Structure 1
Amino acid sequence: MRIAIIATVAIIGLLGTTFVNNQSNQGALKPQQAAAKQAYAQIIDVRTPEEYATSHAESAILLPIQDIERGKLPQGKKSDPIALYCRSGNRSSQAKIMLEKQGYTNVTDLGGLSDLKKHGLSLVE
């Protein structure tokens, strides 16, 4: 009798943990997406507000290159990892140079929208 109770409790425990694991994995990020999000403190879209409204990288913040030119800078420490992107990679490469001249030491240019997928980032449209 005692063995039957222990076996029943063990089976219920195993089934319960399997159910919880399946439920928690349904909304999980793919490993590549999780790595990309952890690699950068900020993912910054340097395009215009109109372009950003059309589509942007998930979790990206908007900081147009025109604002960077006027002296608006990303929040946080200058040593925090920052990733920049734009439509084609041109503006993001210019923004990287501007931020480095302002003392930012950990800036990555992701390139254009078409390059985001290979960095594990998805677009919100």
Structure 2
Amino acid sequence: MKYRFLLLLMIGLALLTACGTTTASTSTTSTPANITVARLKSMLDQNETFFLLDVRTPAEFVQDGRIAQATLIPLQELEQRLSELPTDKTIVCICRSGNRSSVACNLLKERGYQAINVTGGMNEWKAAGYPTVFGQ
């Protein structure tokens, strides 16, 4: 029983580490500001001013569904495409689960942008039953 508890504890810690909001590829250890999908939905419904950035791959964006107002710039292209982002609006970043968007937020913050991460990403958005667009 004691060993089972230790094994479960070690597995839990490993999962927490693997699902954390920072990765070795980022040069910062700060955690970005986060919002829930419910808060994002409220912001969209109230026509708040912000830029919604989806950092998934083009295939995910089309096949897995997207939020209608989102602009796609895949994470691997983000640094080269910063000129496409507004400097006068908060950038709300979303991906599949919240990990890549967290990395994107850290990169944007390092470059002087105000960025917020959507925790749970599109997985949570779709699970909540919020509107999702499929295809081009």
Structure 2's unaligned 5+ residue stretches are: 1-40
Aligned residues: 90
Cα pair 1:110 1:116 within 8 Å, conserved: no
1:50-88 residue CA offsets vs partner (Å, 9 max, x unmatched): 11011111211101000114x2114222x4111111011
- RMSD value, Cα: 2.5
2:117 to 92, 109, 118: 109
How far apart in 2 are the matches of 1:81 and 1:118? 25
Q: TM-score, normalised by structure 2?
A: 0.57
In structure 1, distance between residues paired with 2:129 and 2:73: 21
* Structure 1: segments with no counterpart, 5+ residues: 1-30
Specify the alignment match of 1:66 in structure 2. Answer: 76
Cα offset for 1:117? Answer: 6.0
Greater gyration radius: 1
Share of identical aligned residues, percent? Answer: 32
Paired AA for residue 77 in structure 2? D
Structure possessing the higher relative contact order (Cα contacts under 8 Å, 6 or more residues apart): 2
CA distance 1:100–1:87, shift in 2 (3 Å): same
Give how far 1:108 is off: 1.1
* Corresponding position of 2:48: 39
Structure with the higher fraction of residues in helix conformation: 1
